[in-house]
């Protein structure tokens, strides 16, 4: 069901819009990954302990999966 909804929404895009979507999601993943690295190192922006660290890790994993799906499934 979710795959059908996703296909319906994404098939309405042109090739240029697909590239913009991929670049935007990839940049979001990069930003989240840098924030996760910050929580594992000195924790200047986000604390090294607490729920924010777990939330960032979960968000980074979800966006990473979306990047992989956009790369291999969504063509």
Where are the chain's structural domains? 29-75
Q: Over the stretch 26-40, which tens digit does the pLDDT of each residue have?
A: 999 999 999 888 888
Higher pLDDT, 48 or 17: 17
Question: Do 60 and 36 form a contact (C-beta atoms < 8 A)?
Answer: yes
| Confidence check: pLDDT of 52 > 80 | yes
Q: Which two tokens stand for residue 55?
A: 């939330």
Predicted local confidence at residue 2, as pLDDT: 65
Question: Do 20 and 26 form a contact (C-beta atoms < 8 A)?
Answer: no
Q: Over the stretch 5-24, which tens digit does the pLDDT of each residue have?
A: 666 666 667 888 888 888 99
Predicted local confidence at residue 15, as pLDDT: 80
């Amino acid at each position: 069901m979710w795959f059908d909804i996703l296909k319906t929404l994404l098939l309405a895009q042109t090739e240029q819009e697909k590239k913009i979507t991929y670049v935007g999601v990839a940049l979001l993943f990069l930003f989240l990954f840098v924030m996760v690295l910050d929580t594992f190192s000195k924790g200047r922006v986000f604390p090294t302990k607490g729920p924010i660290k777990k939330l960032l890790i979960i968000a980074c994993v979800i966006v990473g999966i979306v990047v992989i799906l956009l790369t291999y499934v969504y063509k």
